[in-house]
Chains A and B, each alone.
Chain A
């Protein structure tokens, strides 16, 4: 199953029916006994320069999906095509060369830098591996990259433990940019940082996108961050995409009960409207992904569940504007008001974040974090 976005440009990245199953237990003869369907039959495409956010609770498979897209984890089924090249069909050796086009920004800047390599070595490594610039120009290019992410060129000779979290994340971004990729997969790229620094890093990502024409796959559990950075949003639940559409549509007219529940749980919406969000709340805990519920996987927790939900399939129903969702009965659900749109931040944490967004620093003058 595949569907086109509204744009007429050819997509940069296409995922078709991608699945990743982890085998937890085998019989003594090696036959798989228990599998986790971390990513189950997911399809979407990504346009050049676009930001697609993938949201969901932890354990929904969004991080696995990000890694499957760049073949850091081998998919069990399906195909990923990047810039016309089918990554999933490449040999390991050919894949190494393609890595330059899609890079990963990690969640924890304290863990994602090799403690025994200087910043210069870390940022320079992709230059060497992909032969981006001649050897003689590498040091100069490292300095440019550091400047580009708001660090000082002389930082190149230092070690990671001499930097703060925000600075380290800038190094991680510089390393990701070194191979001149077309796509950055940002896996919870700001969630380990302080709120004020989150905003700085997000602004940096935005300005880099404008300058370099990057496309982002922005994996996050934080919808308020997603709202400000994403063009489109894919909502995942237990390995499945349950809703996919333009950010504005997702936040203004969420279709799927799961999306509604996620949105209603955002403090700003809750406090801003004082509306009864209990109608959207989910019952119970996240089921184990080892043995997900049959039919619609949400039926065990959905406030609108009905007996038929145990048997329906979860294929996406696409509206004319490209807004797609996987609820078989979404047309019969009660209408929703704007769940978040007009919400004024009253949560101090979010207030700070929103304030940072409305007054972005002038380009190129990133305050060192």
Chain B
């Protein structure tokens, strides 16, 4: 098991190295001189020179890379031009908001996805199964920004039950926090719920057709016990792993969802940064999401190894 983990960890080193190269080289996609781009509208030569010196742009490119990596390793993601704050500070400020949405989203997705998938598997090839399939594909296919807009239309404008936008932190008022996050979390969870539902269904069907479930049935156990205790327990491990992996998709979804509901999170941070040409923030957000995803991926692997006795030895 340690070998397996060691191998996984070693593989991460080149992955993260290449990731850092990709993110670093993003700024070289900018047309022309990055110093000019960073200096904003109509810069005077001194400003440009100052920026060049400040960001090390007068250094050879590999030195620039080393400076940047050195900064990242010490937790310094650069400086936001717009907010005049360290990117790290901004990221740490916005991350909890998005994390709250993401966790609520994944919980909703797991509940709907697993329940729907189990029902579809148990009622395989009935109209319920087909309906579940259509619902899950619809969940995957619906553009979540549109779903968000439709929810606002229904619950905020027509019914006036929930605020259309804004965010109240949990520490200020939990009711308002819930009211402002329930729609975005639902939107985030929809696509993942569809994916989880499809995987749950196929994992459950596999489990239901396995010998141990047949044995359990033959022993005369009630169908509910067979489904919940025997089949589901075995089908659940890959689903939890999948849930961890889909966290990345949640962060993608957060970009649009936060935009629609005007929630000051991670996604809004990157979109605002794109429009204010705050490139250090864009790079920082991409790096942090990718590292976040890699860590989750690793944890999912470790969980998978721990849950799978055959891999443990």
Do A and B share a direct contact in the complex (Cβ within 8 angstroms)?
yes
Q: Is A1 an interface residue (CB 8 A)?
A: no
B10 beta carbon closer than 8 Å to chain A? yes
Q: Produce 1/0 per residue, B1-31, CB < 8 A to A.
A: 0000011001000000000000000000000
Please give me the residue from chain B that is nearest to A27 by CB atom. Answer: B3
Taking Cβ atoms with an 8 Å cutoff, the residues of A that contact B are 28
On chain A, the residues within 8 Å of B10 by CB distance are 28
Interface SS, B side: helix
Q: How far is the CA of A28 from the CA of B10 in the complex (A)?
A: 9
Q: Which residues of B contact A28 (CB under 8 A)?
A: 6-7, 10
A28 to B6, CA, bound (A): 9
* Residues in chain A near residue B6, CB distance under 8 A: 28
Chain B: minimal CB distance from A318 (Å): 46
**3 A–B contact pairs at CB < 8 A?**
A28-B6, A28-B7, A28-B10
Interface size on B, residues (CB 8 A): 3
Q: Complex formed: what's the CA distance from A28 to B7 in Å?
A: 8
- Using CB atoms, name the residue of chain A closest to B10: A28
Q: Considering the chains assembled together, what is the distance between the CA atoms of A28 and B11 in angstroms?
A: 11
CB distance from B13 to the nearest CB of A (A): 12
Q: Nearest A residue to B7 by beta-carbon distance?
A: A28
Residues of B within 8 A of A (CB): 6-7, 10
A28 to B2, CA, bound (A): 12
Inter-chain CA distance A188–B7, complex, in Å, is 39
Provide the bound-state CA to CA distance between A212 and B155, in Å. 85
Closest to A25 in B: B3
* B313 CB, min distance to chain A CBs, angstroms: 15
In the complex, the chain A residue whose C-beta lies closest to that of B3 is: A28
Q: For the complex of A and B, list the 3 residue pairs with the smallest distance between their C-beta atoms, beginning with the closest.
A: A28-B10, A28-B6, A28-B7
| A154 to B303 CA separation, bound complex (whole angstroms) | 60
Residues in A neighbouring B7, C-beta threshold 8 A:
28
CA distance A360 to B10 in the complex (A): 63
A243, chain B: closest CB distance, angstroms: 41
Expressed in whole angstroms, the Cα–Cα distance for A28 and B3 within the complex equals: 9
- Nearest-neighbour CB distance to chain A for B45, whole angstroms, equals 53
Q: How far is the CB of A29 from chain B (nearest CB, A)?
A: 10
Chain A residue nearest to B6 in the complex (CB): A28
Q: For the complex, what is the distance from the CA of A28 to the CA of B5, rounded to whole Å?
A: 12
Nearest CB of chain B from residue A327's CB, rounded to whole Å: 40
Shortest beta-carbon distance, B119 to chain A, in Å? 40
Shortest A74–chain B CB gap in Å is: 26
Q: How far is the CB of A133 from chain B (nearest CB, A)?
A: 50
CA distance A219 to B7 in the complex (A): 39
CB distance from A242 to the nearest CB of B (A): 36
Minimum CB–CB distance for A25 against chain B, Å:
9
Cα–Cα distance between A311 and B63 once the two chains are bound (Å) = 62
In the complex the two chains form, what is the Cα distance from A353 to B6 in whole Å?
56
A28 CB to closest chain B CB (Å) equals 6
A28 to B4, CA, bound (A): 11
Q: What distance in Å separates the Cβ of B298 from its nearest Cβ neighbour in chain A?
A: 17
